[in-house]
A and B are shown apart, each in its own frame.
Chain A
């Protein structure tokens, strides 16, 4: 079951998705890039696991703190 939520730390828009559901990720890996303040802000996983769901698509607006992906550890 999904037990890790990955959140955007900024308001912005989804610029590029870097992983797909099912992918194995390690702590420190980047799931996607959010464009904010003219910068590419990464969504980084703090604990490794497997990506269960990506909850946004490229171009979507996201808010600070919004859950953008679910992982299982």
Chain B
């Protein structure tokens, strides 16, 4: 084609690709308050920074080429806070963003470049699953699906983040579950298969929200970290998550300036602890007082609520917070909390983020339900993950630390430093229960009182500091400065702040 014709031809082809599935479909989305696939990228990356890869890719099926701009999945490179990221955004207006031979190659390219060059990888999920009828039949399966044995391999070379922004079935669901962070817009659905297919296959009426809505995943499955109301909030959440992450596992996470007013609430932090040891409190108030102002980014807040996890900054450096939250069930660790903490320890260790544990737990929740849900195995996964962490680990015992949970929360040299508030009590179990189990005495009797006094002996903070199982006893208001200093002391100097990543292939969902 002559240059005079070739340039207008390219412009026309670009315009067709940008028109996606057509004006009518885009207008219908807009009317529902949803962003389209290209708008999502534009609003996510730094302005003007997106370079597309595969704009002229279309379906491999000759008859579908004209109706498959970008083959339904838009890919490319953008910048977030000035750092390069790779992005895949599903265009539902093109054949439901179904997975195909060609758009699979685009995703593979994004993954390959992100992994080899050290870029975070971001997925905006909204797709109907494998493209039909392309994948039907043995020949369809043999040629269209997969053909990339590393497609769903996860070795945590770089951070992955996913946003569930519409109906996600098949690969959009798989990539979300392979990611380190997942946010979901309320109203979106994430499931293995669509409600229509499930209803036909099982002959039961299916409510999409019950099958894969945000409440299910935020509260019951724990497969998402955060639920938000709008597309824009989801994009902002992914940006915020990435702000705590290094670009790849081979570097330390980025530092930030310490906001004014950080630490201002430390003077009164002790007042957040209730007067009686039988009363509960919300540990998140203590976390927010300790870390840099407004830096606490809680994850999985509605799942496994007896524990609180989240990313934060302390004196400008990124930390992962693991805390018991007595507000829920007194802070007794259940199976959901074990899974939540285990996954978070893997995340932090894989991306060189030091761990701060705030301890106040009566132990692991026991009972029939716990055993049925394999609590012993979950407790040991948690313990094993903690012992495989090579990033600095700091524990502060605020109040109770009992039994095996003492070890899981960093006691017994499972943290690099253990500090305790003067209110700390460490023992094998609550002395009230111990008296009944060891002596058989009932509360209210003189024998019980005498045995309780004996059982409570030697469980004070100075008894454990005396044998150096706790390295120091600090006033609550000293906690922020103490942790900031210990993070500096324990900075991984020989490796430039990079850990060993012994859990890099730990399952992302388990």
| Contacts from A to B (Cβ < 8 Å) | 9-11, 36-42, 44
Min distance, Cβ B179 to any Cβ of chain A, angstroms = 28
A11, A38, A39 — which one has the most chain B CB atoms within 10 A of its CB? A39
In the complex, the answer to whether B326 meets A39 with C-beta atoms within 8 Å is yes
Q: A11-B367, A37-B430 are in contact. List 10 more A-B contacts (CB 8 A).
A: A9-B329, A10-B330, A38-B278, A38-B430, A38-B433, A39-B326, A39-B330, A41-B329, A41-B330, A42-B280
Give Cα distance in the complex from A44 to B278, angstroms.
17
- B-side residues, CB < 8 A to A, are 276, 278-280, 326-330, 332, 362, 367, 430, 432-433
Q: In the bound complex, what is the Cα–Cα distance between A9 and B432 (angstroms)?
A: 22
Q: Are B432 and A38 in contact (CB under 8 A)?
A: yes
A9 to B276, CA, bound (A): 21
Q: List 15 A-B contacts (CB under 8 A).
A: A10-B330, A11-B367, A37-B329, A37-B330, A37-B430, A38-B278, A38-B362, A38-B432, A39-B278, A39-B279, A39-B330, A39-B362, A40-B278, A41-B280, A41-B330
Name the B residues within 8 Å of A11 (CB-CB). 367
A44, B328: Cα distance in complex, Å: 10
- Is there an interface contact between B332 and A37, defined as CB atoms closer than 8 Å? yes
Residues of A within 8 A of B367 (CB): 11
B433 partner residues in chain A, CB cutoff 8 A: 38
Which secondary structure characterizes the binding site on chain A? Answer: strand
Nearest CB of chain B from residue A51's CB, rounded to whole Å? 21
A41: chain B residues at CB < 8 Å are 280, 329-330
A40: B residues at CB distance < 8 A? 276, 278-280
Residue of chain A at shortest CB distance from B330: A39
A37-B430, A38-B432 given as contacts; is B328 within 8 A of A9 (CB)? Answer: yes
Beyond A9-B329, A10-B329, whether A37 also contacts B280 by CB under 8 A is no
How far apart sit A11 and B365, CA to CA, in the bound complex (Å)?
Answer: 11
User: Which chain B residues border A42 with CB–CB below 8 Å?
Assistant: 280, 327
Residues from chain A with a CB closer than 8 A to the CB of B432 are 38
| A36-B327 in contact (CB<8A) | no
B280 close to A36 (CB less than 8 A): no
- Shortest distance in angstroms between B361's beta carbon and chain A's nearest beta carbon? 11
Q: Which of B279, B327, B328, B362 contacts A37 (CB 8 A)?
A: B362
User: Could you say which residues of chain A place their CB within 8 Å of the CB of B278?
Assistant: 38-40
Q: How far is the CA of A15 from the CA of B330 in the complex (A)?
A: 15
Please name all residues of chain B whose beta carbon is closer than 8 Å to the beta carbon of A44 when the two chains form the complex: 327
Please, which residues of chain A bring their CB within 8 A of the CB of B330?
A: 10, 36-37, 39, 41
